[in-house]
Structure 1
Amino acid sequence: MYPGTFAASTPDKPAVIRASTGEHLTYRQLEDNSLRLANYLDSLGLHRGDGIAVVTQNDLHLFEVYWAALRSGLYITAINHHLTAAETNYILGDCNAQVLFAGASVAEAVADSGELPALNRLGRRIVWGGEIDGFESFDEVLASVSDTPRADEPRGTDMLYSSGTTGRPKGIRAPLPDGQVDEVKDGYTQIFEPMYGFGSDTVYLSPAPLYHAAPLRFCGMTTSLGGTVVFLDHFEPETALAAIEKYHATHSQWVPTMFIRMLKLPADVRSRYDVSSIKIAVHAAAPCPAEVKYKMIEWWGPVIFEYYAATEAAGATFIGPAEALEHPGSVGKALMGVAHVCGEDGSDLPAGEVGVIYFERDEMPFAYHNDPEKTRSAQHPAHPNWATTGDMGYLDDDGFLFLTDRKAFMIISGGVNIYPQEAENILIGHPAVYDVGVIGVPDEDLGEVVKACVQLDPAFAPSPELADELIAFTTDRIAAYKAPRSVDFVSDLPRTPTGKLVKGELRKQYWP
């Protein structure tokens, strides 16, 4: 199913609402505009399997572009608008995007830096909400093409990127679905529609950035089933509660940091809003402290559900509120794939022992685009159909999974994955830096935040001003959320005789 199904039956029903303004797209508008855009992409000569990209803040037009791609057999890549132009252009080149759609408010992220290839072959750029040099007007493009129905509408899918341990993002390119857009359900819909009761009466509140995999896919599922998406421009705790009450949201998805911030609101503010419409509040992206989950269940009732997965869709575990109270801290049991926890030699570990998490599937479920070596490294050495994203954890005697480290020493700040290597590669280029290690340190609000431990060149002396300079040096070159929030100056860093930084020893100085 897809929005066009409901354009016929409920044409005036809101498909998507922007909570901050009340602006919305009806199912008729979403159908008509996505159809026009699909015809436009077809007129450019795009074929099944080609790709387009979109960079924007949360915006109604994103849904029109998304469904234009999905009804054209195309890959759509939603790119983090906080990235620098060079980072954006790398992804555009790697995914072979033929057309770029962007909001004018993210002009800096889509500027052609000249350092990396931007768009391929066609190189068409289209902007809404203002002007960007070299971009065509979205409104003019939309007005220039017909809304003639298409006889062939093969279903497309997304091709999203997650950061790589070496600093380069890696694209996850799944096979295209086989069938027409109105015939094929994507993987999210197949799993979550029956599990969480999504349907035409769903009002799904999305408080997160829509370039992330889960928010984009949950919103796509909701509109494919005839429900209504309500999205926030950005998360603010009281604004989110107000939106639940105003729109009578039935379903929503969060990261634990959002729970924490809502729980920190004064009691009289929390009690001001009626959240009784919520039937399912899903959380993912980072482990949720057991106490936080308990308090949310106490506040919202037994509606808090968790799943553990990744953009790669290697496998997934799920846990409901009752099981979460019985197994505090667990991310649940595997329902997509069979979970294995393996030691360094690849053998299965007994319950309670920490190792690398693999999911056994009938076949390898994903491949990293243009990176066969990375794909091979995600496969179990003896079982090529077992896949991992590098997360570590353990299983208890009942088969419930618990996470310990995420992707070695990857930093998870407010539900966002950050790889320290990127900042390290930047900082080592500063003349004052002799050696550097970037780690996550505890933070009550975000779970952890980025810190740089810097050994200075003897010609330089530690100072607050130099720390600020190093932070600015990093944010000038990579997205600010990846840069350190603080700098500690150290006399030396723990390294092995071969030069490998022992981050476990470094982290011990900051973590209990």
Structure 2
Amino acid sequence: MTTGVRFGERKRAYEELRARAARIATGLADLGVGSGDRVAVMLRNEPAFLEVTEAAQLLGALPVPVNWHWRGEELAHLFGDSGAKVVFAHTDLVPKVEEVLPEDVGLVEVRVPDEVTAAYGLPPNGVTRRHPTLEALIESNEPWREPAAQAPPSVIYTSGTTGRPKGVRRKPHSPEDTVKMAMGILEVFGLSPEMRTLVPAPLYHSAPNVHALLASRLGIDLTIMPKFDPEGLLRTIERNRIEHIQMVPTMFIRLLRLPEKVRKSYDLSSLKAVVHAAAPCPVDVKQAMIDWWGPILREYYGGTETGIITASDSQQWLAHPGTVGRAVWDCDVKILDSEGRELPAGQVGEVYLKPPSFWPDFTYIGDDAKRRGIERDGYLTVGDMGYLTEDGYLFLCDRAGDMVISGGVNIYPAEIEAHLLKLEGVQDAAVFGIPDAEMGEALAAHIVADPAAGLTAERVREHVRAGMAGYKVPKVVVFEQSLPREETGKLFKRKLRDPYWAGAGRRI
């Protein structure tokens, strides 16, 4: 079987992808890009994303995936902070790049493929003709002939859920550690080179980016979805006989909302492993997915900064419902209090992680102080609260910055959000702390609900009151059309929370 990248009805063999990347590399070199420079990739999911990334890496340049939803100051910050020398952008994104792009930074247009246009409902478009195009770069250049540089990892910008995104730049690592890292990821993912794998999440995020690039590098047959669509995912699994997928819990929730008739109408028997991470998965949601797809779900936990730290398969999760697994390889997990003291099993504190020995160290671009600030004795925190069981299984409670202290009691909104999702009609929920003169903080719940359910604020409170302690009942309930989420499911609570705290002082 000739392996390559499948995209919609098309397939691009890896030989063709690499040939195109080699020509792009020559074009980049002509634009002044060399080893150590940064190349920003502001593209939606499509094969060109991989081609541009590989082209940059052939030169020893660092790819910088860009969240294409960003605009204005967000983009200006990334372009300036990263020091990008060239930006690749889909044509319809070019105007907002032009608004903030420094004069000395090159811009290459990439025509939006029909599959992306259809997925996002975009109008048909050509190119602006104001900048060089990707296809012209490929057609007008010979392949790059110099020996390939050691491919540097992408510079991933954190989502910025609590502030400005920071660029995570990993330090160089040996070829031996690169091999160990690749083999370790395959092990946790449940992925082998002969399988057919699918990436439905945005390639500008860390996990999908690593997944797709690793598959490409190892020649694993890869399908990329232009945009996640629940029924479209099922259709793709059946059509391409997909054996492996990396997903996020939000996708599970949307899949489970499909009518049972639709869910049963697709042949999913090819699936062998489904791995998920990126956000907490409610216990009932994961149980429902295992009931549907079988005990093929795997989960891992870590961060862009740390790599994979813990993992569990379905059997381990069923024995410890809600866990994100236990430490793998030579990793370790500690739970520390605010003074840095290690807490015993069962006690909640901030989660600190010891990365695997083969995972490259990193710094935040332009912020070494922040990098030092998240470390204690070789252990790093990505800002989560949780606890360990006696046998080493890690359970997450919430983000440290999301914990609410009301009347001296610590409240973890994530468990309330999971409980709200059990209420019929609730489609999404965000719970957070707001100022309260008596208690210091009270709870607010912003909810997306099916209008047909006829939910009221009091019905929401009754549901929480019936299943949880009284102090976890939201004081304020607001119904929204949608919540500010990334496509990976990460929620930007600050966008909901900040208006409540404006002028009142912030606790974080």
Matched, 1:209 2:196: no
The DSSP-based 3-state class of the residue aligned with 1:405 is: strand
Q: Distance in 2 between matches of 1:168 and 1:190?
A: 33
Residue of 51, 54, 72 corresponding to 2:38? 51
The DSSP-based 3-state class of the residue aligned with 2:328 is: strand
Corresponding letter in the other structure for 1:127: E
Matched, 1:140 2:117: no
Corresponding letter in the other structure for 1:301: G
- Offset at 1:188? 5.2
Superposition RMSD in Å? 3.7
Change (3 A) 1:319 1:31: same
Q: Distance in 2 between matches of 1:177 and 1:39?
A: 25
Q: Please tell me whether the aligned partners of residues 73 and 157 of structure 1 are also in contact (alpha carbons under 8 angstroms).
A: no
Q: Please tell me whether the aligned partners of residues 333 and 401 of structure 1 are also in contact (alpha carbons under 8 angstroms).
A: yes
Q: Distance in 2 between matches of 1:68 and 1:364?
A: 22
Change (3 A) 1:60 1:364: closer
Q: Distance in 2 between matches of 1:174 and 1:407?
A: 24
What's the counterpart of residue 247 of structure 1? 240
The DSSP-based 3-state class of the residue aligned with 1:281 is: strand
- Offset at 1:483? 8.5
What's the counterpart of residue 233 of structure 1? 226
What's the counterpart of residue 125 of structure 1? 107
Matched, 1:357 2:382: no
Q: Distance in 2 between matches of 1:202 and 1:270?
A: 23
Matches within 5 A, 1:492-511: 500-502=505-507
What's the counterpart of residue 427 of structure 1? none
- Offset at 1:378? 0.6
The DSSP-based 3-state class of the residue aligned with 1:252 is: strand
Residue of 28, 36, 40 corresponding to 2:23? 36
Q: Please tell me whether the aligned partners of residues 188 and 311 of structure 2 are also in contact (alpha carbons under 8 angstroms).
A: no
Q: Distance in 2 between matches of 1:343 and 1:408?
A: 14
What's the counterpart of residue 323 of structure 1? 316
What is the TM-score with the length of structure 2 in the denominator? Answer: 0.76
Q: Please tell me whether the aligned partners of residues 300 and 308 of structure 2 are also in contact (alpha carbons under 8 angstroms).
A: no
Change (3 A) 1:484 1:353: closer
Corresponding letter in the other structure for 2:320: H
Q: Please tell me whether the aligned partners of residues 162 and 494 of structure 2 are also in contact (alpha carbons under 8 angstroms).
A: no
Q: Distance in 1 between matches of 2:27 and 2:445?
A: 46
The DSSP-based 3-state class of the residue aligned with 2:209 is: helix
Q: Please tell me whether the aligned partners of residues 45 and 202 of structure 2 are also in contact (alpha carbons under 8 angstroms).
A: yes
Change (3 A) 1:132 1:378: farther
Change (3 A) 1:310 1:173: same
Q: Distance in 2 between matches of 1:321 and 1:77?
A: 34
Matches within 5 A, 1:55-94: 55-94=42-81
- Offset at 1:279? 1.0
What's the counterpart of residue 462 of structure 2? none
The DSSP-based 3-state class of the residue aligned with 1:157 is: coil
Q: Distance in 1 between matches of 2:169 and 2:103?
A: 18
Matched, 1:105 2:87: no
Corresponding letter in the other structure for 1:29: E
Matched, 1:379 2:375: yes
Corresponding letter in the other structure for 2:166: K
Q: Distance in 2 between matches of 1:58 and 1:376?
A: 34
- Offset at 1:29? 1.0
Change (3 A) 1:489 1:46: closer
- Offset at 1:38? 1.5
- Offset at 1:285? 0.7
Q: Distance in 2 between matches of 1:35 and 1:213?
A: 24
Q: Distance in 2 between matches of 1:349 and 1:132?
A: 59
Change (3 A) 1:314 1:79: same
Change (3 A) 1:217 1:187: farther
Identity %: 32
1:446-476: CA deviations, max 9, x gaps?
A: xxxxxxxxxxxxxxxxxxxxx99xx9xx99x
What's the counterpart of residue 475 of structure 2? none
Corresponding letter in the other structure for 2:280: P
The DSSP-based 3-state class of the residue aligned with 2:364 is: coil
Q: Distance in 2 between matches of 1:165 and 1:69?
A: 28
Residue of 386, 389, 394 corresponding to 2:382? 389
Change (3 A) 1:488 1:48: closer
Q: Distance in 2 between matches of 1:331 and 1:225?
A: 27
Matches within 5 A, 1:6-25: 13-19=2-8, 22-25=9-12
Corresponding letter in the other structure for 1:309: G
Give the number of equivalent residue pairs. Answer: 430
- Deviant stretches of 4+, over 6 Å: 410-414, 436-440, 483-490
Q: Distance in 1 between matches of 2:24 and 2:229?
A: 33
Corresponding letter in the other structure for 1:393: G
Q: Please tell me whether the aligned partners of residues 330 and 400 of structure 1 are also in contact (alpha carbons under 8 angstroms).
A: yes
What's the counterpart of residue 471 of structure 2? none
Q: Please tell me whether the aligned partners of residues 341 and 394 of structure 1 are also in contact (alpha carbons under 8 angstroms).
A: yes
Corresponding letter in the other structure for 2:11: H
Corresponding letter in the other structure for 1:325: L
What's the counterpart of residue 452 of structure 1? none
The DSSP-based 3-state class of the residue aligned with 2:399 is: coil
- Offset at 1:266? 1.3
Corresponding letter in the other structure for 1:124: G
Q: Distance in 1 between matches of 2:213 and 2:498?
A: 43
Q: Which moved more, 1:270-279 or 1:184-193?
A: 184-193
What is the TM-score with the length of structure 1 in the denominator? Answer: 0.75
Q: Distance in 2 between matches of 1:94 and 1:485?
A: 23
- Offset at 1:242? 0.6
Q: Please tell me whether the aligned partners of residues 103 and 128 of structure 1 are also in contact (alpha carbons under 8 angstroms).
A: yes
Q: Distance in 1 between matches of 2:165 and 2:444?
A: 19
Q: Distance in 2 between matches of 1:488 and 1:99?
A: 35
Residue of 380, 386, 402 corresponding to 1:409? 402
Change (3 A) 1:486 1:168: closer
Q: Distance in 2 between matches of 1:132 and 1:437?
A: 51
Q: Please tell me whether the aligned partners of residues 345 and 387 of structure 2 are also in contact (alpha carbons under 8 angstroms).
A: yes
> What are the ranges of 5 or more consecutive residues in structure 2 without an aligned counterpart?
112-125, 404-412, 419-427, 435-440, 451-478, 486-490
Q: Distance in 1 between matches of 2:443 and 2:304?
A: 24
Q: Which moved more, 1:80-89 or 1:35-44?
A: 35-44
Q: Please tell me whether the aligned partners of residues 57 and 106 of structure 1 are also in contact (alpha carbons under 8 angstroms).
A: no
1:286-326: CA deviations, max 9, x gaps?
A: 11111111111111111100001111126511010001000
Q: Distance in 2 between matches of 1:346 and 1:148?
A: 51
- Offset at 1:439? 7.2
Q: Please tell me whether the aligned partners of residues 190 and 275 of structure 2 are also in contact (alpha carbons under 8 angstroms).
A: no
Q: Please tell me whether the aligned partners of residues 161 and 492 of structure 2 are also in contact (alpha carbons under 8 angstroms).
A: no
Residue of 278, 286, 290 corresponding to 1:285? 278
Change (3 A) 1:249 1:312: same
